[in-house]
A and B are shown apart, each in its own frame.
Chain A
């Protein structure tokens, strides 16, 4: 009896794992579980949480974080931070308001100038990063502090106070308001314009990450920049484009704030950059890069929205919100790490 000749192939792994295991492998699974848990908790403790009107409020709160969490999570997957993201939103609103007011121009002029300036700041972040090779934490900490100071300084210089002048009587305001700050009410559910912007950015961001060559480069740059460069990926350009994405989204949110509230407080935005990062991490982004999802950042933003408004509906002291958010971050990060370890042990060799 002779043994059959061995096949001339090396079998490296078993068949594709079943659908349930594949689901567990997704980066946003931890955020999904956490979001459902938060929803159940507030549904149980606060009667008004389940009302349709509350739903609109929660969605609005989530969208103002979610719009920024999209580019911040993409940037984090590429292995970088942008600590200037929070104050950049305020910068975008201030520039738009002051340019329109000082030039007594159509508000679209301010909106456009604001976009150009914000993109220039983001390009500066990207350029500094690739030129100096300093960590992005340091580079954007620098721009964060500079912008914080400039927001206050320039506003005081121009208006004499820390607040911009109202521009609601200016030409173009109504149209800009429609684009950035309108709301539609359908059957008691009020949906603000930011929600549509959020959804559009979410779909665009997810598509870019998962279905374009640029998305492949984002994963690679964060996972191993040297390996990416060796196969011809333009590493510096990838990073700079992602910073420009942060700038664009900061501009969208900044215009919303301006056309929603008419005036802008120049000290706003400090600390929000950390909330965007929290949303991205809860959503399953690995803080060292190379892994994560855009959809997860939306779940992170939803958790933020549900928690911040749920605490009010439950009539708890809102002081506890930050405590709750911090605990949430730790839990989600631990859950993500645990799930990933389990799955990798399952298929690894």
Chain B
């Protein structure tokens, strides 16, 4: 890895009341790198993003951005430090026009919006990411799920994000749409951003990832650079590793007995 370090989590932990959601998790992200975080439901993925994105604060360990120790109090603080998050289901406001969504929270002209420039900029920024959208006045809800994710990614890139956090960008999408979104993820990487890709799909992760972190019940179950792990091993670890072997053993034993006679 040659890029500068953008952010680093070291032995980070988080407790909600008496529930330990995250424990001893470490992760480093550099420029031009895609770091994938994989885990099943409830593995602590969303807690991890919330800490990075400034929605929650960590209780243990350290969180540094460009070498400086931080404790973020709001998403705004994270944005100001160049960390943009695109959430699976709340990336955009469906009823609002594309250009209003694009500039939401970063409007141009406080008391007198420069609407013509905002529309033109939206069109150009999307075109630069390879999306040709003529009518930026249409409600963004009329676009498909994958296209909405793409607009949200283009927005983060345009507003100078250095780090892009993507929460399950392909979870609700079909095969073709997922491919389109992954293409924009690599476009963001090529633009020099660091990307944290949260997913439970090892195939999508392996298509683009440079580093893989596996979470299991709030703890790190593995951390591998791409050179050290193959897709098959990643899939097995992701699917539960030893747990899966046990399950398959149980199923194999009980299955023939339970099967009703043909």
- Which residues does A use to contact B, with CB under 8 Å? 8-17, 22, 210-213, 215-217, 219-220, 223-224, 226-233, 286, 290-291, 344, 347-349
Contacts and interface: CB of A to CB of B under 8 A. Distances in A.
A216 B113 contact: yes
B111 A212 contact: yes
B105 A233 contact: yes
A24 to B, nearest CB: 13
Given A211-B115, A226-B90, A15 B127 contact: no
Interface string B76-97: 1001000001010011111110
B105 A9 contact: no
A220 B166 CA distance: 21
A128 B147 CA distance: 38
Nearest to B146: A10
A224 to B, nearest CB: 5
Interface residues of B, number: 42
Contact of B105 (A224, A232, A349): A232
A104 to B, nearest CB: 42
A231 B80 CA distance: 11
A16 B134 contact: yes
A231 B112 contact: no
A348 B94 CA distance: 12
B176 to A, nearest CB: 11
Interface centre among A9, A229, A231 (most CB of B within 10 A): A231
A6 B67 CA distance: 44
A15 B135 contact: yes
Nearest to A9: B132
B172 interface: no
B110 A212 contact: yes
B104 interface: yes
Contact of A16 (B103, B111, B137): B137
A241 to B, nearest CB: 14
A212 B90 contact: no
B125 interface: no
B15 interface: no
A219 B130 contact: no
22 contacts: A8-B130, A9-B131, A9-B132, A10-B131, A12-B147, A13-B138, A15-B134, A211-B112, A213-B107, A213-B109, A213-B111, A215-B113, A216-B100, A216-B107, A219-B95, A224-B90, A231-B75, A232-B76, A232-B105, A232-B106, A233-B105, A347-B138
What 5 A-B pairs are tightest by C-beta distance, nearest first?
Answer: A213-B107, A223-B93, A231-B105, A227-B90, A232-B105
